[in-house]
Amino acid sequence: MKYAWIQEHDDSFAVGTMCDVLGVSTSGYYGSLQRKPSARAKRHERIKRCVVEVLGLARIHRYLGVPWSGMIVDFELGSSPGSAARTDWVSW
């Protein structure tokens, strides 16, 4: 998660500074950019796609208590239903 946040904000802040603040090494961050997704990450993506396909985005938002506005909310697998919604929105 830390590496993803760093990558998302690398145009706003210096990578070295973000690594220091988040307590990760710069070599670890740059190494993560070269690694392929793990089997677990691939499995989670497949599960997310299946859930969206079966339930539909509007129904997922209703379940999470997040208003549906043509945007999708990222959710973490293994979270409890009430805490699954996160505040970082991704436009669809």
| pTM: predicted TM-score of the whole model, two decimal places | 0.47
Q: What's at 54, amino acid-wise?
A: V
Between 2 and 69, whose confidence is greater?
2
pLDDT exceeds cutoff 90 at 70: no
User: What's the domain range around 53?
Assistant: 39-91
Residues 21 and 48 both lie in one domain: no
- Span 18-57, pLDDT tens digits: 999 999 999 999 999 999 988 988 888 888 887 777 677 7
Residues 78 and 55 both lie in one domain: yes
Residue 92 pLDDT: 37
Q: Strand, coil or helix: what is 39?
A: helix
Residues 29 and 65 both lie in one domain: no
Paired tokens of 82: 């009430």
Q: How many CB atoms lie within 10 A of CB 41?
A: 11
Residues 76 and 56 both lie in one domain: yes
Domains: count for the chain: 2
